[in-house]
Amino acid sequence: MFYFDPKLQYDVRVDVPDPRFARLLQQAIGGVEGELRVCLQYLFQAFGARGPARYRQMLLSTGTEEMGHIEMLATAVALNLEGAPGDLQDEAAQANPVVAAVMGGMDPRQYLSAGMAALAADANGVPFSGAHVYASGNLAADMYANVTAEATGRALACRLYELTDDPGMKDMLRFLIARDTMHQQQWLAVIEELGGQTGTLPIPNSFPVEEERREVSYDYVFTGMPGVEPPTGRFTAGPSLDGLGTFRLVPAEARGAQPNLAPPLPQAYAQAQQLPGEETIR
């Protein structure tokens, strides 16, 4: 279960409110790279964790930290929506700063739906979706999903950093970027604990590899048209990363037949012309 401290994990300060930046921050709250996603992803992985108990604890801890990041960002949104927007100080804005801000690029729903506060949505107002919560039951797959979330999350935070000159916002982002630095490596450290690439690949490593069609397990299949030069690299030659095979470069070819589906069932209510004996069309 969970507890709260009404203080923030790190200070959130906005020197000059900017409603347009409040819109952009939404991506870090409810976007696919955002904190709602990582918070729920780590917590759901913890809630369903089977195997070494240590990982449940580790996941719970970081998921709980991320909830505090949602709080920081939502606070940042609310503060950016206060007062007259900094760089919209024209005549219209002086007359009615809310009109100016809504008409000038802020997320209109931060005003219309939330009365000047954050939404559980991304920078385009698309609501957060639970479909982005990865908790596969496979520890290695989940660790890579977490690295992905933190890598795209840190790229997002760096890009937001580029879009603001506000010292308070820049300071908050510096903190969040640093936490993403840690979290990327935290999940990769688990991969290392599990034995690195030879210890974990192919994922899941509990499926007996002799059941798969081994003769294509290390082939880089090139689907370029005849005459197109295939790329080569670490993935076309040398030992495979799981230590179990050798990469090869192989041109694509159809090994299967052309599919031949049965005619429609009567109950499927295709057109009569699709039924057998009606092929006289043309």
Find the binding residues for a copy of itself in span 120-149 (CB under 8 A). Answer: 120-141, 144-145, 147-148
Supply 275's token pair: 């039924």
Q: Return the closest-CA partner of residue 146 out of 75, 59, 258, 208.
A: 59
Please report which helix (H) or strand (E) contains residue 223, including its range.
none
CB 251 within 8 A of CB 229: no
Counting contacts by CB under 8 A, is residue 40 touching a copy of itself? Answer: yes
Instruction: Indicate which single residue of 15, 16, 161, 168 sits in contact with a copy of itself (rule: CB under 8 A).
Output: 161
CB 59 within 8 A of CB 49: yes
Counting contacts by CB under 8 A, is residue 168 touching a copy of itself? Answer: no
Query: Strand, helix or coil at 250?
Result: strand
- Euclidean distance between CA atoms 64 and 133, whole angstroms: 15
Q: What amino acid occupies position 220?
A: Y
CB of 251 to a copy of itself, least distance (A): 10
Is 35 annotated to bind a ligand? Reply is yes
CB of 180 to a copy of itself, least distance (A): 7
Find the binding residues for a copy of itself in span 10-39 (CB under 8 A). Answer: 10-12, 20, 23-24, 27, 30-33, 36
CB 41 within 8 A of CB 149: yes
The residues near 211 (Cβ < 8 Å, ≥ 6 apart) are none
Counting contacts by CB under 8 A, is residue 277 touching a copy of itself? Answer: no
Supply 6's token pair: 């009404």
Closest CB to a copy of itself among 160 and 169? 160
Counting contacts by CB under 8 A, is residue 231 touching a copy of itself? Answer: yes
Count residues binding a copy of itself (CB under 8 A).
190
Backbone phi, then psi, for 165, in 5-degree steps? Answer: -110, 0
Counting contacts by CB under 8 A, is residue 52 touching a copy of itself? Answer: yes
CB of 222 to a copy of itself, least distance (A): 5
Is 65 annotated to bind a ligand? Reply is no
Counting contacts by CB under 8 A, is residue 199 touching a copy of itself? Answer: yes
- Euclidean distance between CA atoms 25 and 65, whole angstroms: 18
Question: What is the crossing angle of helices 53-80 and 167-193, to 10°?
Answer: 170
Instruction: Indicate which single residue of 35, 93, 115, 169 sits in contact with a copy of itself (rule: CB under 8 A).
Output: 115
Please report which helix (H) or strand (E) contains residue 248, including its range.
strand 248-251
Per-residue binder mask for a copy of itself (CB under 8 A), 211-230, x = binder: xxxxxxxxxxxxxxx--xxx
Instruction: Indicate which single residue of 22, 35, 55, 93 sits in contact with a copy of itself (rule: CB under 8 A).
Output: 55
Instruction: Indicate which single residue of 15, 16, 168, 235 sits in contact with a copy of itself (rule: CB under 8 A).
Output: 235
Counting contacts by CB under 8 A, is residue 89 touching a copy of itself? Answer: no
Q: Which residues are annotated as a binding site for Mn(2+)?
A: 35, 66, 69, 150, 183
